[in-house]
Amino acid sequence: MILQELKKQLQDLYDGKPWYGPNLKDSLDSLDENCIEEIVGKHSIKDLLAHMINWRQFVIEKLSRNEAFEIEADSNQDWMPEELLRDISWENLKELLEITQNNLLKAIGQLDKEMLTETISRAKYSYQYLLFGIIQHDVYHLGQINIIKRAWKEKD
């Protein structure tokens, strides 16, 4: 039951009908491409999306029991350096997001519910905590993306 709910929440967040507003795919597809690299505060929409992809990949690696895979907060694996980010097209980033979406759903589909309560090696939290965390992380950054999008529209 919990695994199905996690999958449903991830699917709603990505391209479903979440209760809190527009989903991620619709939000990204409806952007004016001129605003994706506009830095508001510390980050651009492109930067936020790359960051979300990195942490989704972290979760996929942990679900695959890759104990060696780590991302250090505020490192280049956490927030991609601007010079590297410039070399990645917007379409490529959206494709990477879709790949992580498919891989996350596949990884969750291969879990048994007993694994959810296991503590992740070298961590102080369970797989269930990690999965709820990535959903919360994505919703948080989706909100930031939509705030930047709205500010860009109001600027014109």
What is the per-residue pLDDT for 108?
Answer: 97
Joined together, the tokens standing for residue 115 give 């694994």
Closest Cα partner for 121 from 65, 55, 78? 65
What is the per-residue pLDDT for 156?
Answer: 64
Global pTM value: 0.95
**Low pLDDT (below 50) residues in the chain:** none
Q: First and final CA of the chain: distance in angstroms?
A: 47
- Cβ proximity of 14 and 99 under 8 Å: no
Joined together, the tokens standing for residue 52 give 């979300």
What is the per-residue pLDDT for 33?
Answer: 83
- pLDDT single digits (tens) 103-115: 999 999 999 999 9
Number of domains in the chain: 1
- What's the CATH code of the domain at 94? 1.20.120.450
What is the per-residue pLDDT for 18?
Answer: 96
What is the per-residue pLDDT for 121?
Answer: 86
**Bridge partner list, 40:** 43
Residue range(s) defining the domain that contains residue 133: 2-155
- As a whole number of angstroms, the distance between CA 69 and CA 42 comes to 26
